[in-house]
Structure 1
Amino acid sequence: MQIRLSGEDYAWRLFVLLSATVLPLGTLALLVAMALSGADTVSLVAVGVAATVLHVTAWGATSQPVRAFVAAALAMVVLALVPMPGWSSGVLTPSSLCFLLVLWRLVAVGPSRWVAPALATAVAGVALAGMASTLREPAGARLPLWMPVLEVMLLLAVVVGVWGFARVVRAQRQRSVAQAAQRLAVARRAERAEIRRDLHDVIAHSLTLVVAQAEAARVGTAEHETERALAQVADTARAALLGLRGMLRVLDAAPLAAGDIVPSLDGLPALVAAAATPLHRVTLTQHGDRRAMPADAESALVRLVQEGITNALRHVEPPLSVTVHVDWNVELDEDGGGDVVQVRVQDDGGSGPRTAGDPGMSPGTGSGLAGVARRVEAAGGELAVVRGKGWTLCARLPTVGTP
């Protein structure tokens, strides 16, 4: 697997590499100047060790920013307190720039609880360096007051500037993480919604057909044992349907606008034929020549037919008649546009609506028809629901081209 680095990671590694190759040369030159100025061995060793620690922390901050910052801060304290030639502070050693790298890394990617303490530590270090420089002023030397003040102000500006820039980078990183988390959450909700719709459209429809066919078979048999077995089949299917709806409520999520797996129109006749029983007359008629449809419109048409049949079998007392009519020429009949298809699913009301206490009645969640309406709308179509003696679902959906 190939791991690609972000631009921020490239910049960080580049700065660390430069700090390890360029800054040591400047620090070495400073040590030579200190030796020529008569600095003692302890001071030279202290500056050299502190500089080495700073370079090590710059590398270590990649994976351990907190530990690297603590070590770098201690090294800077050593540089601030070690006597240096003249009045200036040892924090101006070239290797001290590694502390700024470690500070940036900690604030940008380290734990959030360290963001404010990092700034406080850096500011305290600047104050310590300024005090040490003032106390180290050679006897008899009357330096202008503005020189140590200017040094402190410049150091403070650099530290605060690096901290502020790192804070901005951290905020951008957090926004990116939040956006990625939001996209992931949306994708998960979409996936759950798709699973929920497919379970409702396919399994719930099939279970409803099992119940209807078992009840129809009970009417046509005279054997008591067979009738009881069929009643058990119907009750088991209804129990499974109720359990499925409970799971669907758990999976409830915002639906996708489009892009579902497309049920084919080729399977529409089989879908209608499977719903027919001696007590349920379900027929399909088509007018005109079939035309191609967008994927989401084709899915919406099939799901509309499926939901209309399922609702009729579930909520209407048999004997029942359901007609499915697909009119490919509806727009041609009106104004010659030929760019839509009309599908109508209508039941005759049967022997009346089932009551809540009817053994064939299974309470629904009301989400099936709402889901179909969203599918039709997302596909650019229109849905109308009319209630008379029975129910009529009528939708217009776009097609591609003319016959």
Structure 2
Amino acid sequence: MRTRPPDPVWRLLVLLSATVAPCATAALLVAMALSGAGVVPVVAVAAAAAVLHVAAWRADRRPVGAFVAAAGAMAVLALVPMPGWSSGVWLPSSACYLLAAWRLVVAGPRPWVRRVLAVGVAGVALTAGASALRAPGGTDGDGAADDGAWSAWLPVLEAALLLAAVVAVWGFARAARAQRERAAADAARRLELARRSERAEIRRDLHDVVAHSLTLVVAQAEAARVGTREPATAQALAQVADTARSALLGLRGMLRVLDAAPAAAGDVVPSLDGLPALVAAAATPLHRVTLTEHGERRALPADAESALVRLVQEGLTNALRHVAPPLTAEVHVDWDAERDAHAVRVRVRDDGGAGPRAGDDAGVRAGTGSGLAAAERRVTAAGGTLDVERGDGHGDGRGWTLSARLPTVGAA
């Protein structure tokens, strides 16, 4: 299975290993044959070199298998003597082993990261041991006494160089893997934030649209039930109201499942033109809801317009949901608020009706609900402010008042 698309640098190194290294290795094999080496050592070295090149070419698709094959080929090269060389591990084609090791550490299974280093160290030890046996006092590949061409310190030097190459490649590959893992973790976090943002947007839309509509259904069914004289009709309307309330409870449970950190913006922008219809839909014989605008309407930024309409919707929804009828609610939009040419004030107030509905906490609308919290975030994101007060702010402690100030187009 392909782990991930290889990067261009990797492709370049594999290309070089498949073009330059084979030519240099072939030249050494010819020199090896001309120096009197047997057929078996030459064939063994040639076969090991071919396996190394195939392993490097397949390392991006099969990193584990390619590394195992390359390690086996290097073991063969470590044991086969070469005239004028301590072993065949110094062939140019041996660089393919380092490429296979790099690829496995960078993009292979995590358990193989340490195994690659262990295999590399073991290979260095095997090479050093085989070289030591062929050093002065040892024997060459034909069993004859060595003629002393090898110095006693040469195997140690070669082992140190090989170990440095193995450790360096492993260390850089491990650092590259750590960098990739950090990048993947960052991408996963960004994806999770986007997912949570989308869930939060769905949650806000469900709350703003569906919950508001269900609340209107409850209010209108109760108003119609009071106005009818038919017991069967009154019972049916009561069932409609109870069903809508049950749907609201189910919706709230679903919203808790969808709860997520909200995005600063991203709502579908409602229009001020729909404000009269929004207010009119909330009115029933038991719910007197009015809209008044003072001053000449001015243009609003998109986020401010969305925040204003959603705030009115939330204020009316809370009044219909938590206050027992008969109820009076007022929506007032002031475009000349305190002679501020760059702001609009909107106020949503209810008179407290016949008191809180049975089972409602008297302080439930003090700003702790998710709907009001979302409305405050919208107002703040649009550059405005929101106040939630008990009563009308002038000594009357009945009902609640939502008051927001939002900037108009041209505000600094």
Per-residue displacement from partner, 1:313-354 (whole Å, max 9, x unpaired)?
A: 1111111111101111115x1xxx522111100011112222
What is the CA–CA distance in structure 1 between the aligned matches of 2:150 and 2:259, rounded to whole Å?
Answer: 76
Q: State the distance in 2 between where 1:117 and 1:92 align.
A: 23
Question: Once superposed, which parts of structure 1, at least 4 consecutive aligned residues long, lie more than 2 Å away?
Answer: 137-140, 142-148
Residue equivalent to 1:278: 285
Match status 1:161 vs 2:153: no
Report what 1:68 is aligned to.
Answer: 66
Which of 331, 336, 341 is equivalent to 1:329?
336
Farther-moved stretch of structure 1 (142-151 vs 253-262)? 142-151
User: Whole-Å Cα distance in 2 between the matches of residues 357 and 60 of structure 1?
Assistant: 69
Structure 1 residue 149 corresponds to structure 2 residue 156:
yes
Alpha-carbon distance between aligned partners in 2 of 1:328 and 1:401, rounded to the nearest angstrom? 14
Structure 2 residue 386 is matched with structure 1 residue 383 = yes
The Cα RMSD (Å) is 1.8
The one of 289, 295, 299 aligned to 2:302: 295
Say which of 120, 123, 126 aligns to 2:124. 126
Amino acid at match of 1:397: L
Distance between the aligned counterparts of 1:185 and 1:226, measured in 2? 50
Moved more, 56-65 or 142-151: 142-151
SS at match of 2:111: helix
CA pair 232-35 structure 1, distance change in 2 beyond 3 A:
same
1:176-234 Cα offsets, whole Å, 9 max, x none, are 11011101110111011000110000000000001001111111111111111111111
User: For 1:315-394, what aligned pairs fall within 5 Å after superposition?
Assistant: 315-331=322-338, 333=339, 337-356=340-359, 366-388=369-391, 389-394=398-403
Contact 2:322 2:360 in 1 (8 A): no
Q: Which residue identity does 1:45 align to in structure 2? A: V
Provide the residue aligned with 2:409 in structure 1.
400
> Matched residues in 1 for 2:256 and 2:231: separation?
38
CA distance in 1, matches of 2:81, 2:237: 99
The alpha carbon displacement at 1:86 in A equals 2.9
Specify which of 247, 251, 254 is matched with residue 244 of structure 1.
Answer: 251
- 1:36-85, Cα deviation, whole Å (9 max, x unpaired): 11000000000000000000001111111000000000000000001211
How far apart, CA to CA, are the structure 1 residues paired with 2:291 and 2:349? 11
Counterpart check, 1:85 vs 2:83: yes
Residue identity over aligned pairs, in percent, reads 72
Structure 2 distance, partners of 1:140, 1:229, is: 112
The equivalent residue for 2:140 is: none
Farther-moved stretch of structure 1 (368-377 vs 168-177): 368-377
Deviations 1:146-177 (CA, angstroms, capped at 9, x unpaired): 33222111111111111111101100110011
Unaligned runs of 5+ in 2: 137-145, 392-397
Please point out which of 52, 55, 66 is paired with 2:53. 55
Q: Which residue pairs with 2:100 in the alignment?
A: 102
Give the Cα separation in 2 of the matches to 1:109 and 1:251: 35
Which one of 181, 199, 202 corresponds to residue 195 of structure 1? Answer: 202
| Distance in 2, Cα, partners of 1:317 & 1:79 | 91
Q: CA 1:172/1:381 → structure 2, altered by over 3 Å: closer, same or farther? A: same
Indicate the SS of the match to 2:81. coil
Structure 1 gaps of 5+ residues are none
Deviation at 1:142, TM superposition (A): 6.3
Structure 1 residue 144 displacement after superposition: 3.9
| Secondary structure of residue in 2 paired with 1:396 | strand
Distance 1:24 1:357, change over 3 A: closer
Q: CA–CA distance in 2 between the matches of 1:183 and 1:340?
A: 36
More deviation, 348-357/110-119? 348-357
Alignment-mate amino acid for residue 57 of structure 1: A
Structure 1 residues 132 and 280, CA gap change in structure 2 (3 angstroms): same
Counterpart code for 2:15: L
1:61-112 CA-to-partner distances (Å, cap 9, x unmatched) read 1111000000000000000001211352210011000000000000000000
Contact preservation (8 Å) 1:130, 1:148 = yes
Distance 1:189 1:316, change over 3 A: same
How many Å apart are 1:288 and its aligned residue? 1.4
**Which amino acid is the alignment partner of residue 376 of structure 1?**
V
Alpha-carbon distance in 2 for matches of 1:256, 1:186: 9
3-state SS, counterpart of residue 7 of structure 2:
helix
My pick for the range that moved more, 254-263 or 25-34, is 254-263
| Counterpart amino acid of residue 206 in structure 2 | L
Q: Distance in 2 between matches of 1:375 and 1:142?
A: 84
Q: What is the TM-score normalised by the length of structure 2?
A: 0.91
Tell whether the 8 Å contact from 1:86 to 1:137 is kept in structure 2 after alignment: no
